[in-house]
Structure 1
């Protein structure tokens, strides 16, 4: 019998959880956690498994700094399974989706008829009481009182 040569397996291409920019950003964040705390050294398999959870955070508006802070703050003193701690935090502390951005209010120039500003304050010519009117004059009491009252002293 002659020995059969078995070709050596080629190095498999390095795979990441996702090829999109958010997936790459998630993989980078997870792989870099060990720089903050060496107990958070994750295997390549764990990084690829946890990356979709980080992408969920990014899609909900969280920054890389916010995710990093959430994953590294107040870690337990003894950690047997750092990937389990990270998976738990990614799942349980996931922020809610951001609400839709409200439409900006219509501009005042485009809506001149519907946006009514109150009239400015005026001083009554008869009793010096303040009232709102488009132009100076007399207040309602001085206008509706008897003619003698409007000519003379008006009740304050």
Structure 2
């Protein structure tokens, strides 16, 4: 008989496998159809949800999980790629802080990409049985040991 710890471990492994599967499929599909990396998609998505479609570069770095230098390189590529889907600039009197703003081109690209994103997620969800594992993980983690 399996213990609660085994259920929790199995559910966690299933969820991480599911996440990896979905991420890889999204990466492949976004590159194939839009020449966009998954992290570039996340930059556009986070900016689209921010007030004035702008965020400090450091905040984007934390949301995406990149080092400062990797985020700077990604932002530089996105600034020059596709007629500049983002723009980096200083903010007010603080010359140290760099803000990133989505451009009209970025907004247009994100609108095109969202359909692909949603289709890919739906297709991948249909092919995975994640529900029972997710429910087990939530149930097990909510119970006191």
TM-score of the pair, normalised by structure 2 = 0.27
Higher RCO (CA-CA < 8 Å; seq separation 6+): 2
User: 1 or 2, which has the higher strand percentage?
Assistant: 2
TM-score of the pair, normalised by structure 1 = 0.25
